[in-house]
Amino acid sequence: MVDNTLILRKLADLETYLGQVREFSEITLREYLAAWKTQRIVERTLQMMIEACVDIANHIVSDRRLRTPTSYADTFKVLAENEMIDQALLADLERMAKFRNVVVHPYEAVDAEIVLAILRRHLGDFERYRDAVLACLRKASEPA
């Protein structure tokens, strides 16, 4: 059975991170590029948000004995294959997983314009994911 307490704790962490990173959603490109501390805070917080989403997905995948994912992006694909998230959300989460890899691995520079696009247009993706996870938990707790 899915450990609802664990998932709810990770969702609470996600909410906290979302509130923190939203403080930077109006920053200009010029301000962002001039402030290495802001870059570090935003990029690391986005990384933690994405990793919280992956952790939640992996817990659900493991509990339900679904196909073993081969990557962070594939973890979300497994959820979509099992109709826990829709295709539009899958596409957004796959892009987020790829962004996380750029932040974590130094083989590629982080594109500040992509970071600002996430801050301005894609924070809602995390809320959509939260809602899908909560719907999944509700459905699993319904009597058969």
Count of domains observed in the chain: 1
State the CATH number of the domain containing residue 40.
1.20.120.580
d(CA 59, CA 127): 18
Number of CB atoms found within 10 A of residue 70's CB: 10
State both tokens at 66.
């679904």
pLDDT tens digits along 85-113: 999 999 999 999 999 999 998 777 899 99
Domain of 106, in residue numbers: 4-141
pLDDT tens digits along 39-78: 999 999 999 999 999 999 999 999 999 999 999 999 999 9
pLDDT tens digits along 2-34: 789 999 999 999 999 999 999 999 999 999 999
At residue 144, does pLDDT exceed 80?
Answer: no
Residue pair 58/69 in contact (Cβ under 8 Å)? The answer is yes
